[in-house]
Amino acid sequence: MAEVRLIGNLKGILYYIDTPLLDFEIKNRELIKAEDLSGGRFYPWELAKLGVSYGSFNRFFQRRTMREGCMFYREHLRALGMDKMDFDLYIRKNNGNNHLDNYWVKFDDGGARCFADL
């Protein structure tokens, strides 16, 4: 059975390296806040081309997670202290970073404070 990967509740600031892009909040699967902090500069593809919406945020973060069924998927989750996929928690544990680009999320209550910490 395929895992559901929809953001339930997430609040933070999306960064590109050290440039803050968007202060956002998703609550109960709805984008309730998206304050542009960069004049639209450096937005990831999903937000730049599809617009700033719950769907584009969700698509952006879906691209940043290991897919179910990949080699070492269960080991990867265990290394993060998870026994099953919890999409919100996965994003928080990785600071929204996939280590292949320079986007990341700063959370008020934990995680990395700057790109160099990732």
Residues above pLDDT 90, as percent of the chain: 79
Instruction: Judge contact between 3 and 63, C-beta under 8 A.
Output: no
Count how many residues are written for the chain.
118
Q: Note the pTM of the prediction, 2 decimals.
A: 0.91
Q: Which residues touch 82 (CB under 8 Å, ≥6 apart)?
A: 89, 90, 93
CA 51 to chain centre: 16
30-83, pLDDT tens digit by residue? 999 999 999 999 999 999 999 999 999 999 999 998 888 899 999 999 999 999
Domain residue spans of the chain: 10-110
Diameter over CA atoms, the chain? 41
Q: How much is the pLDDT for 1? A: 53
